[in-house]
Amino acid sequence: MYKNEFFDRVAVSDDPLLFTDADRRKVEQLKQRLGDLAGMRVIEPGCGVGPLTEYLSNWVGPSGRVLAFDASPGMVRECRRRLGHLRNVEIAEATMETVQLRPATWDLAILFRVFPHFDDKGAILRRLRPCLAPGGRLVIANLEGSARLNTLHAGFSEPVRHDRMPCLRSTTRLLEEHGFQVLSATDVDDEFFVQASPAQKVSTGEQ
């Protein structure tokens, strides 16, 4: 089974990965870490059925914009059904390889609960870096720490049971290797959060 098929089924299941009451407390903590997003332009790859998208719409307000996209047609369909009325949100069926992103345009790229599912994580970071506006940020966030999340994934069926969330040290190294500097980071049992910005100077390895 391909990943899209797996997530298509999740989208119409009894548990489409919406937030629980316990999750909402963590989402409020995420909001505090992100700071004031009013008026910002935000991209959210792997939005699923849009549990965070709905919050992002409120956080950026009427003068902001959210581009939420997912590779799963089922997830996108359910996201549009739930949130299609939000005027400051655009919902698209796309992958990181196919989505159209103008350079130096986005204030925040948030990879929420999606980073483990990327096969080539370095390619994703390379794709996102030039899209960020001056002062823009990249955030990788989960509502579980890396160890706990990997244990949860191990209990899933194929094709996601081997999707791994790199630990904090590995994630930091990966970001630095692809032109980012880490601004803040935490990896505890009930939270993973890394915030980074494009480094001013990127080493190409050329002499």
Phi, psi for 117 (deg, rounded to 5): -85, -5
**Token digits for 25?**
């407390």
Q: Which of 95, 117, 149 is CA-nearest to residue 3?
A: 117
Q: Would you say 138 and 176 are in contact if contact means Cβ atoms under 8 Å apart?
A: no
Confidence of residue 1 (pLDDT cuts 50, 70, 90): very low
pLDDT at 205: 44
Query: Cα separation of 153 and 165, whole Å?
Result: 9
Q: Would you say 96 and 124 are in contact if contact means Cβ atoms under 8 Å apart?
A: yes
What is the greatest pairwise CA distance in the chain?
56
Domains of the chain: 3-198 (3.40.50.150)
User: Residues 43-67: pLDDT tens digits?
Assistant: 999 999 999 999 999 999 999 999 9
- Read off the pTM: 0.91
How far is CA 173 from its chain centroid? 18
Q: Is the pLDDT of residue 124 over 80?
A: yes
As beta bridge partners, residue 207 has none
User: Residues 149-195: pLDDT tens digits?
Assistant: 999 888 776 777 788 999 999 999 999 999 999 999 999 999 999 99
Query: Cα separation of 146 and 98, whole Å?
Result: 28
User: Residues 10-55: pLDDT tens digits?
Assistant: 667 766 666 888 899 999 999 999 999 999 999 999 999 999 999 9
pLDDT at 207: 37
pLDDT at 7: 72
pLDDT at 156: 73
**Token digits for 169?**
């040290």
pLDDT at 130: 96
How far is CA 187 from its chain centroid? 16
Residues above pLDDT 70, as percent of the chain: 90
CA atoms within 13 A on the CB side of 37: 25
**Token digits for 56?**
């992002």
Query: Cα separation of 203 and 72, whole Å?
Result: 35
